[in-house]
Amino acid sequence: RTAPPGAAVISFMDAGAIGYYSELPLIDFGRLNDRYLVDPGLDVAAIKDYFFDQGADYVVMSSAAADAIEYTDEAMAIIADQRFARYVRVGVWANRVHYPYWQHVFRQVSIPLQQ
C-alpha cells in the first residue's frame, strides 16, 4: 500500500503471495519467474551482482529470525554486501501457519515513503 505505482520488487523467496497482493513487478530469487536465475551454473557472486543490477525499489527477504536475516548463503551474501546499505528495513511480518520464518521488507533509501 505504501509503494509508489510501478515500484519494482525483489522477493528472496516466497514470490506467490507477494506478487499477487502487491500487484507490482516482481523478480523471485527463488528462481520461479526469471530466465537468468534458472541457470544452474550461477555462483553466489553472479547471483549477488544480478540482485544489485536490478535496482529494485523494494526487497522482501525471508528469514528464520524475526530480528535479523538468517537464510540461504545467497541471501546472507547479499545483505553482507556494502551495496545493501542502500536499503532500509521498513517492516517485518510472521506467517499464519506458525512455521518459523518471517518476511523482512526493505525499501531503497531514495524511495520516499508514501502515505
pLDDT (tens place) for every residue of the chain, 115 residues total: 678 888 899 998 876 778 888 888 889 998 888 899 999 999 999 999 999 999 999 999 999 999 999 998 999 999 999 999 999 999 998 877 778 889 999 999 886 665 5
- Beta-bridged to residue 92, according to DSSP, are 104
pTM above 0.85, yes or no: yes
- At residue 31, the pLDDT reads 87
Supply the DSSP symbol for 97: T
- At residue 80, the pLDDT reads 96
Distance between the two ends of the chain, CA-based, in angstroms?
Answer: 8
